Structures are given as C-alpha cells and as structure tokens.
Amino acid sequence: MYKRQLYWYSAPPLVKQWIDLVLSFGWAYGPGGTTLKGKTAFHVLTTGGPEAAYQLDGFHGATLAEFLRPLQRTMTLCGMNWLPPFAVHGTHRKTDAELAAAGSQYAHLLEGLADGSLRVEALQSLRLLNQAVE
C-alpha cells in the first residue's frame, strides 16, 4: 500500500522527490512498467480545519479528493487501485479519546484490507475511507 501526505495543498518536497526517484519509466509505468500494477494506493491525512472546510462551499473551496487529483492520476498511471483518503479533521481540537478512536478506525481499515473483509472495489465509491469503519 502506498500512503503519503499533503502539505500546503500539495505533496511535500520529500514525497515529490520519492515520486521522481521511485516511479520511474519502465518500472512503474510505460513499456514494461508493471511493478505496481494492481497495488492499492490511498492517503491518510490529518487537517487542522473541520471537515466542512473541505467542501466546495467551505473555507478551502475544494474537497480533499480535488486536492489529491494529481497524486491520484500519478498512481493510476502506474496501474494502481486508487482509494479515497482516510482523513481525521480538526485534529488540534480533538481530545485524546477522539484521536485514539480515529487511530482505532485506521487500524480496523488496515486489518480489513489485509484480511480481505474490506474489498477495494467497494471502497472506491466512498467519499472517505473512514466511512468503511465507522
């Protein structure tokens, strides 16, 4: 599974460098570039703002899916199965118990993907992966 992050609405420089170095022509895409084909890719994100801020009519004027579009296209170019993000919004306002609950949800997501009880095909239609483990 591929997991990366956003930083100031884009991939952080080290993630961009990882993409440039690892996702090479002939290995990850292009003729003979089938190494990642069929693998699953998704992002795990935390935000300072509430979920409502990441809507078309919200503070940021876009959804998380829209911010992730360039990374989505990069992964699908490599033949990977793209999933929506797992997101924890408003983290600086959450209690320790709420953060622990989010961590537990994430653990259930990973377990479900690993044991096959969560099917990639069914998850692709969700807005957030959190919905699969609520």
Domain boundaries, the chain: 13-133
pLDDT at 5 over 80: no
Q: Band of the pLDDT at 85, cuts 50, 70, 90?
A: very high
pLDDT at 65: 92
How is domain 13-133 classified at the CATH fold level?
Rossmann fold (3.40.50)
- Burial profile 39-76: b = 16 or more Cβ within 10 angstroms, e = fewer: ebbbbbbbbeeebeebeeeeebebbbeebbeebbebbe
Distances (CA, A) of 37 to 23, 32, 63, 131: 12, 11, 27, 26
* pTM given for the model: 0.88
